[in-house]
Amino acid sequence: MGETSFVTDQVWSKIPDGSITTPKGFKATGIHTKVKRKRKDLGIIYCEQPVPAAAVYTLNQIQAAPIALTKQVLEDGGHVQAVVVNSGHANACTGHAGLVDAYTVQEKAADVFNMQADNVAVASTGLIGERMKLEKILPGLEQLVPTESKEEASSFAESILTTDTGTKEVCVQVPIDGKVVTIAGVAKGSGMIHPNMATMLGFVTTDAHIEHDVLQQTLSKVTDQTYNRITVDGDTSTNDMVLTMASGEANNQSLTPDHPDWDAFLRAFTHVNEELSKMIAKDGEGATKLIEVVVNGAPTNECAGKVAKQIVGSDLVKTAVYGADANWGRIICAIGYAGVPINPDTIDIGIGPCQTLLQSEPVPFDEEEISVYLQNDTIQIKIDLHVGEGYGKAWGCDLTYDYVRINAGYRT
């Protein structure tokens, strides 16, 4: 699966009104249990029966209780019937008691919806180190009435947010075997967003018929090119998780890499996850701009991704973009310490429409043109290292006064 292939023809259709309940077989909802002061804080995605599922998790060695629980669920057969998500506290660093809390939520949800507990995944996001407020969450579970409506899907999208400024939803359809397969996703991000399973929650539903193993391999691969390519602040959370569930109700022939329409499915699935990743990057804490870095000519695709991510992760590049300053010196500096073999004399750097460096030598550019470009809400930086054929992208956001304001007083 070459990354470059994805720049070519689009095989899916965007469904602007779609949501995670557009794929057949999924219901959802989200409510306010007063764990958070005002916003919704408890949600569920629910299927009538267990369906093949897959997940990827934070690589932080400190992992929250819900991560441990959901890993166990996926390892026991790879099927999930529902996922329960709460926001407000992360149930991380809460010791054995926190793990018991997570299992208590799982049991209660199984009880309310008449499911087997070991088919119920959980996820949490919010403050580290606080016990869950079970006195609010357990009664809350009894109030959940998931439906297939767009409104309830949006309620779920709201219920998983923390400092996000808005919900993040995407939905596409793609023809497989002449059937319509729908893939939809919802995510939250904002802070503690970096590398490996980039500090976020994502839930992707599809009515495609696809088995657990294939789904897991596909999600892991796609994660490397999407969620693992975004950064907000370089911090990798204890609670990151992306979970995908496949109801099979589109009734296509089971999808594997040998399926004639595999490539179409893969592109559509990648697109959903890439869109969610970009929405997370763009809505980073305090951000005013999305930064997209495209690297060509690296020794390998992996190296290209590493360089791209080093650039979007540089505080100096991020503040320069915030200040609409075409400071290419900070970009080449970040390239130099990305830990990837380069030739210091063959680097091209473009910022939007302007070439600023060619073969590592400064190129005169129109200061006015570039400063107008830097007012946009998406800024593209293009690099060519001229070392090999490696290609990769990464996304991040600018670093602003508001990032400092938000994070100087999050806990108190």
Which residue numbers are catalytic?
A: 199
DSSP-assigned letter for residue 145 = -
Q: Does residue 364 interact with its own copies by CB under 8 A?
A: no
Single residue of 213, 366, 378, 405 touching its own copies by CB under 8 A: 405
Element (H, E) at 57: strand 42-57
Distance from C-alpha of 386 to C-alpha of 296, rounded to nearest angstrom = 8
**Least distance from C-beta 41 to its own copies, angstroms?**
18
Q: Does 62 bind its own copies (CB under 8 A)?
A: yes
Closest CB 270 distance from its own copies, rounded Å:
26
Rounded to the nearest whole angstrom, what is the least distance from the CB of residue 69 to its own copies in the complex?
15
| 27 vs 309, beta carbon nearer its own copies | 309
Q: Compare residues 196 and 220 and give the one whose CB is closer to its own copies.
A: 196
Contact positions with its own copies (CB under 8 A) in 147-206: 191-192, 194-196
User: Which stretch of DSSP H or E encloses residue 401?
Assistant: helix 401-408
Site residues for its own copies, 252-311, by CB under 8 A, read: none
Report the residue from 326, 379, 381, 394 that binds its own copies according to the rule CB under 8 A.
326
**Could you tell me which stretch among 31-39, 142-150, 231-239, 295-303 binds its own copies (CB under 8 A)?**
231-239
Please state, in angstroms and rounded to a whole number, the distance separating the CA atoms of residues 375 and 362: 22
Residue closest to 222 by CA, chosen among 254, 268, 190: 268
Tell me which of 1, 11, 15, 93 binds its own copies, using CB under 8 A. 93
Buried b (16+ CB within 10 A) or exposed e, 321-357: bbebebbbebbbebbeebebebeeeebbbbbbebebb
CB of 356 to its own copies, least distance (A): 9
401 contributes a contact to its own copies by CB under 8 A: yes
Q: Is 360 in the site for its own copies (CB under 8 A)?
A: yes
Task: Kindly state the smallest distance separating residue 291's Cβ from its own copies, in Å.
Answer: 14
Query: Smaller CB distance to its own copies: residue 13 or 407?
Result: 407
Long-range contacts of 360-368 (CB under 8 A, 24+ apart): 360/332, 362/328, 365/326, 367/326
* CA nearest neighbour of 386 among 329, 352, 348: 348
DSSP 325: -
Q: Which residues in the 101-140 window bind its own copies by CB under 8 A?
A: 127-129
Helix runs in 283-338, H state only: 301-313, 315-322, 328-336
The least CB distance from residue 67 to its own copies, in Å, is 11
Stretch that binds its own copies, among 85-93, 105-113, 135-143, 291-299 (CB under 8 A): 85-93
| Calpha distance 233→91 (Å, rounded) | 21
Q: Across the strands, what pairs with 392?
A: 295
**DSSP-derived secondary structure letter, 286:** T
When the beta carbons of 92 and 295 are compared against its own copies, the nearer one is 92
**Which residues, at least 6 apart from 132, have a Cβ–Cβ distance to it below 8 Å?**
86, 89, 91, 94, 98, 101, 102, 105, 124
The residues binding its own copies (CB under 8 A) are: 59-63, 90, 92-95, 127-129, 191-192, 194-196, 233-238, 313-316, 319-320, 322-323, 325-330, 332-337, 342, 344, 357, 360-362, 399-401, 403-405, 407-412
